[in-house]
Structure 1
Amino acid sequence: MHINIHFKIMVKGITKLFLLASCGLIILIPAFVNAQSKKSNAAKPNIIFILTDDLGYGDLGVFFQNQRRDKADPKLPFQLTPNLDKMAAGGAQLTNQYCNAPVCAPSRASLLTGVNQGNAKVRDNQFDKQIENNHTLATVLKTAGYATAAIGKWGLQGETKDEPNWPAHPQKRGFDDFYGYMRHADGHEHYPFEGVYRGKKEVWDNYKNVAPDLSKCYTTDLWTAKAKKWIVDHETAKGPEKPFFMFLAYDSPHAVLELPTQAYPEGKGLKGGLQWLGNPGNMINTASGKVDSYVHPDYKNTKWPDTYKRYATATRRIDDAVGDILQLLEDLKISDNTIVVFTSDNGPSIESYLPVGYVPNSPQFFSSYGPFDGIKRDVWEGGLRMPTLVAWAQHIPAGKVVVSPSMLSDWMATFADVAGINAPARTNGVSLVPSLTGKGSQAESLIYSEYSEGGKTPDFKEFEASRRGRKRGQMQMIRLGDFVGVRYDVKSADDDFEIYDIVSDPKQTTNLASIPSCNELQAQMKAKSLQVRKADLEAPRPYDKAEIPAVEILDKTYTGLSWKFFKGNFPYVVLETGLTEVSKGVSKHLGNEVPKSSGGMTLLEGFIKVPNDGEYSFSLQASGKAYMRIHEAELIDADFGYQSVSQETERVYLKAGNHPVKIYYLREAGKERILSLKMRYKDGDWKPLKGTDFFSVK
């Protein structure tokens, strides 16, 4: 096989063209400029983010199930999702959106913090580990004037013996209100009061356990009714002058595949559908009848095993719930100014936890992984590619299909954009507003995932023979343009990636890594996968101490860091996207050229040349908030909760050569200016760094 590839990278304005062969593909990194706006609260859209648990790309009608239906083959059972299909027809399908990790906790943590798994604090199977005390979707949107609520599954609270004082309770991470399951494992049972299969669970209304009042409350119904009530109460009390952000996290169709008590209530929206009654023992209008009993009539009389009647009913219940919420927005006349995102946290699961006698759940039955290989806990496309839909009437053209790759961590920058503020500098994401609305130029997303898992990819006959039953171990996935690199059971940074043209070969059948013309692409993937991440002691990787490759500089250079000063009263260290500098120059003193009277943010940018391979430590001290990157990885975070003039130190392994750095420095007008940076090689002496120890390109 012969394949020709043009591969183009850009480093800080330096362009290097790698001619690998000639299939005519050029990977560009365009610069999207998002003008900073000062929107009134009334002009800011409400935001509802709906996250399901283990729903596969292939579980939605519009993504895959309708194709099975249209084949009219009795051997191809299919599900129906009419409300989600309608949402897709009126809005956008993101057919190349990835979760950040192929399992629940790290995926959700990366979504909420806007950072990829190479920089996150919750990684691997760290269920119930506290999400870091840093920027979240909720803290950022509160800064923009939003009311915030989290409803449903959390699982990021941190362990404590002093419940309910969890260190990372949602109300300690930016949410005004929380109603739902706090613990990860509680989400494996969908009747908290009865505990039909997994025992009784606790449901928390902020800091109060209200589960004793929730007889016969099926959680999909419960979270939906509570979400509707919260929206109605908010609009009644505060109206359009106070936009809202809701994180609505369902705990299904994952786990025990329990059934509702009855059919979805007639009608939708304000007067119909699910309703909050508020009476203990009769909290919602489906809290009656028999628990775990109702099978949707479209599936009841099929010859399917009961397991799959349950799965299809659970998915259909979510579909009804989304239709109910969308109708509520119409009834309240706020649909035109509300963004609704629907997606999943990771690929489909084989976990059902049903009693003995039931057929074990298998995503094979409906091909829940869609046209891909892989399931939950795999970094193949089936484990990472998400069924993402977005509705935003009057802003997104009906029936739009967005094919540009993106990740769940991009929603931080996206929501900051629509709220008229800048995202934190810490985020690894970019705003997706241009690709959704068709206005502006879309910046390229950073598509990267890492995960460690002791199991194996299932031995499904539908999967490629080379990956059936393959040991997972340490895994990585990176996407560059149309090409995806995957490594399983990684032993070192030198292990080769399998390389797939994911556009023409979505099932990843043809590994291009052995083609000589892909050698340079292989090298780029190996380098990039080290340049976008930092080590985390609680999630060790075999490449944590691998030396990060330097970059080649082709353009002319000059001594010093280039600096730009952005005037303003910024609440945190922000990305520079859309900001206009009021002054700029070349720094010899780490940005202290800016007059003391000016308040705002200084961005210093350039390269540092390290003389030897090995371990380097950096130490930063600032009188205001600061943030530092090396390549695309976080080096030092002195932003959220930073104590002024404290010293932050970080260690990193570097190859000899040139390494790009960015330093963001925020301070108030009139305050003393202190920004100092030191470096040392291995255990040697600390060397103070000046602007002249760096260089920039012309």
Structure 2
Amino acid sequence: MARAAFLGLLLVTLFSLQVDDGVAAQQPNIVFILADDLGYGDLGCFGQKQIATPHLDKMAADGMKLTQHYAGSTVCAPSRCVLMTGKHSGHVPIRDNRNVSPTSNKPLPDDEVTIAELLQEQGYATALIGKWGLGDQHNAGFPNQQGFDYTFGYLDQSHAHNYFPEFLFRNGERVTLRNFVPAARPSGAGVASEKVDYSHDRIAEEAHAWLRLNHRKPFFLYLAVTLPHANNEAGSRGQETPDFGQYADRDWPDSQKGTASMITRLDETVGQVRELLELLGVEENTIVVFSSDNGPHAEGGNDPAYFHSSGPLRGIKRDLYEGGIRVPTIVAWPGQISPGHVEDTVSAFQDWLPTFAELAGSETPSDIDGISLVPMLTGQGEQAQHDFLYWEFFKEGGKRAIRSGDWKGVQLGMKQSRKPIELYDLRSDLSEEHDLADEHPEVVARLERLMDSAHSDSGDYSFRD
């Protein structure tokens, strides 16, 4: 009897050690919230002074703030492609924003392995809710064929410019919204007197409903919201009239009121998701990541300098300077991440695929560029480091950039007459104001070789004339 009791106690002790040793033995749930065009300096916890973001500030206080995390690209589609595939923009299949039809962006090929596919194979319920931008239901890029069990929102990024669309998609089928104007309505009648659907609200509601239905098994929610992208439309609380909320009486241009209210609304959504996870009893076993797909935009009348949206960084969306690609990133995981931790490890979007694969118990594809961030997140083991990070962009004359250690190289005019490589020391010159290329030709030569090796020509993406 005593022997049996001893064996029972031993088994309990061994089980406890197994759970507490490193990452929890149970597969963690994963929620990845991706903002659209949110700048490095747009959150209070990253230095913003005028826009209220209390929920994201609390998330940073509860978890980890990543101060040197980079998006996959400086614009939407390639950045999301890097995130999904774990490959940098030198050889991902989608390297710019490009439509192949009126309803679809260039599609993700069928043979690419995505985060969602790896997690789906490990028994996760998977959902994309929000904006996809990597293909639609008529081609291989359809997210339901790329590892997602459930999808709701925008498939095409051009469609996502409209916050009051006539429809969104659920699993490839149109869902008519209250913004639909019947043909029989007299011309110019409008919809101002009727209830309307602000797309972000529908996306948030759908995410809540999906979490309630799927929280009893391991789940991966990719919540790719559209705020604060494009039109600076503050939206409504069921009305077409813009709702500037707490900023309505500020002595600001309407475009800036709209931008600020969209960011605060985004912040509220993040807070609501975290509150729901706690209500459902899964907060302790859920890692929540928040980030942005690129730097702040200058569209629809928005002035990114008005709120210092790039913070101390140079550049905005479509630049390969830091302001176009370094993004505000926060990770919360109770019991695994120490509260209030500020992490300066250099990391990027391609790292999330191997990170989530390791947490889920999946093998990582061998042809990716990312490295697992599990040691950094948990504080256990030695964190591997990148030899370099690389980006390329094919609009505005063609650009490429590289970071290796604290050195940053930027080269413009790649598709025309190539301009000399600019060289910056990010340790002492975060704003990239002082080009040191003439002082360090050996560093420039090394970075040029690395950039040349990182780029893979394809029919669509070449810097050759």
Band of TM-score, shorter chain: 0.7 to 0.9
For the pair 1:118 / 2:90, whether they are aligned, the reply is yes
Aligned pairs for 1:301-450 (under 5 A) are 301-352=249-300, 360-445=301-386, 446-450=388-392
> How far apart are 1:345 and its partner, in Å?
0.5
> How far apart are 1:41 and its partner, in Å?
11
CA RMSD of aligned residues (A): 2.0
Determine helix, strand or coil for the equivalent of 2:305: coil
Match of 1:528 among 436, 442, 450: 450
1:153 alignment counterpart? 131
Contact 2:292/2:329 (<8 A) preserved:
yes
> How far apart are 1:80 and its partner, in Å?
1.3
1:206 alignment counterpart? 171
> How far apart are 1:533 and its partner, in Å?
2.8
Q: Which of the pair has more CA radius of gyration? A: 1
1:295 alignment counterpart? 244
> How far apart are 1:126 and its partner, in Å?
2.1
Determine helix, strand or coil for the equivalent of 2:151: strand
- TM-score, normalising length: structure 1: 0.59
1:255 alignment counterpart? 230
Residues 223, 41 of structure 1: alpha-carbon distance in 2 compared, 3 angstrom cutoff: farther
> How far apart are 1:494 and its partner, in Å?
8.2
Aligned pairs for 1:15-94 (under 5 A) are 43-65=26-48, 69=49, 78-94=50-66
How far apart, in 1, do the equivalents of 2:54 and 2:379 lie? 26
Determine helix, strand or coil for the equivalent of 2:438: coil
> How far apart are 1:248 and its partner, in Å?
0.6
How far apart, in 2, do the equivalents of 1:503 and 1:388 lie? 20
Residues 42, 213 of structure 1: alpha-carbon distance in 2 compared, 3 angstrom cutoff: farther
> How far apart are 1:211 and its partner, in Å?
2.1
- TM-score, normalising length: structure 2: 0.87
Residues 292, 503 of structure 1: alpha-carbon distance in 2 compared, 3 angstrom cutoff: farther
Determine helix, strand or coil for the equivalent of 2:109: coil
Match of 1:217 among 187, 192, 197: 197
Residues 434, 493 of structure 1: alpha-carbon distance in 2 compared, 3 angstrom cutoff: farther
Q: From the two aligned structures, give the one with the greater strand fraction.
A: 1
> How far apart are 1:51 and its partner, in Å?
0.7
How far apart, in 2, do the equivalents of 1:40 and 1:395 lie? 7
How far apart, in 1, do the equivalents of 2:69 and 2:227 lie? 20
Aligned pairs for 1:134-173 (under 5 A) are 134-157=112-135, 164-173=137-146
How far apart, in 1, do the equivalents of 2:234 and 2:442 lie? 52
2:109 alignment counterpart? 132
How far apart, in 1, do the equivalents of 2:96 and 2:157 lie? 14
Contact 2:412/2:418 (<8 A) preserved:
no
Residues 253, 529 of structure 1: alpha-carbon distance in 2 compared, 3 angstrom cutoff: same
How far apart, in 1, do the equivalents of 2:276 and 2:448 lie? 48
Contact 2:78/2:97 (<8 A) preserved:
yes
Contact 2:409/2:424 (<8 A) preserved:
yes
Q: Return the letter of the residue paired with 1:385.
A: R
Q: Return the letter of the residue paired with 1:541.
A: F
How far apart, in 1, do the equivalents of 2:464 and 2:173 lie? 43
How far apart, in 2, do the equivalents of 1:52 and 1:370 lie? 17
Contact 1:155/1:184 (<8 A) preserved:
yes
Q: Return the letter of the residue paired with 1:139.
A: E
Contact 2:336/2:378 (<8 A) preserved:
yes
Residues 508, 493 of structure 1: alpha-carbon distance in 2 compared, 3 angstrom cutoff: same
How far apart, in 1, do the equivalents of 2:429 and 2:315 lie? 14
> How far apart are 1:184 and its partner, in Å?
1.2
2:152 alignment counterpart? 179
Determine helix, strand or coil for the equivalent of 2:108: coil
Contact 1:117/1:450 (<8 A) preserved:
yes
How far apart, in 2, do the equivalents of 1:141 and 1:156 lie? 19
Determine helix, strand or coil for the equivalent of 1:57: coil
Q: Deviations 1:64-102 (Å, cap 9, x if unpaired)?
A: 21xxx3xxxxxxxx1110000000001111111111210
> How far apart are 1:40 and its partner, in Å?
12
Determine helix, strand or coil for the equivalent of 1:203: strand
How far apart, in 2, do the equivalents of 1:394 and 1:112 lie? 27
Match of 2:218 among 243, 249, 259: 243
1:481 alignment counterpart? 405
Structure 2 alignment gaps of length 5 or more: 1-21, 100-104, 180-194
Contact 2:413/2:419 (<8 A) preserved:
no
Q: Return the letter of the residue paired with 2:242.
A: S
Q: Return the letter of the residue paired with 2:463.
A: R
Percent of paired sites with the same residue: 40
> How far apart are 1:427 and its partner, in Å?
1.4
Q: Deviations 1:416-462 (Å, cap 9, x if unpaired)?
A: 111122211121100111122221111113411011222xxxxxxxx
Deviates more, 1:135-144 or 1:119-128: 119-128
Q: From the two aligned structures, give the one with the greater helix fraction.
A: 2
Residues 224, 442 of structure 1: alpha-carbon distance in 2 compared, 3 angstrom cutoff: same
Residues 57, 495 of structure 1: alpha-carbon distance in 2 compared, 3 angstrom cutoff: same
Q: Return the letter of the residue paired with 2:121.
A: T
> How far apart are 1:182 and its partner, in Å?
1.3
- Count of matched residue pairs: 422
Higher relative CO (Cα under 8 Å, sequence separation at least 6) belongs to 2
> How far apart are 1:477 and its partner, in Å?
0.8
How far apart, in 1, do the equivalents of 2:155 and 2:24 lie? 31
Contact 2:163/2:235 (<8 A) preserved:
no
Q: Return the letter of the residue paired with 1:210.
A: V
Q: Deviations 1:293-323 (Å, cap 9, x if unpaired)?
A: 32222x1221111111111000100000000
For the pair 1:226 / 2:174, whether they are aligned, the reply is no
2:18 alignment counterpart? none
How far apart, in 1, do the equivalents of 2:77 and 2:342 lie? 28
Contact 1:496/1:522 (<8 A) preserved:
no
Contact 1:259/1:293 (<8 A) preserved:
yes
Q: Deviations 1:398-424 (Å, cap 9, x if unpaired)?
A: 111111111111100111111122211
Residues 40, 451 of structure 1: alpha-carbon distance in 2 compared, 3 angstrom cutoff: closer
Q: Deviations 1:298-353 (Å, cap 9, x if unpaired)?
A: x122111111111100010000000000001111111111011111111111112x
Residues 109, 292 of structure 1: alpha-carbon distance in 2 compared, 3 angstrom cutoff: farther
How far apart, in 2, do the equivalents of 1:233 and 1:42 lie? 23
How far apart, in 2, do the equivalents of 1:429 and 1:49 lie? 17
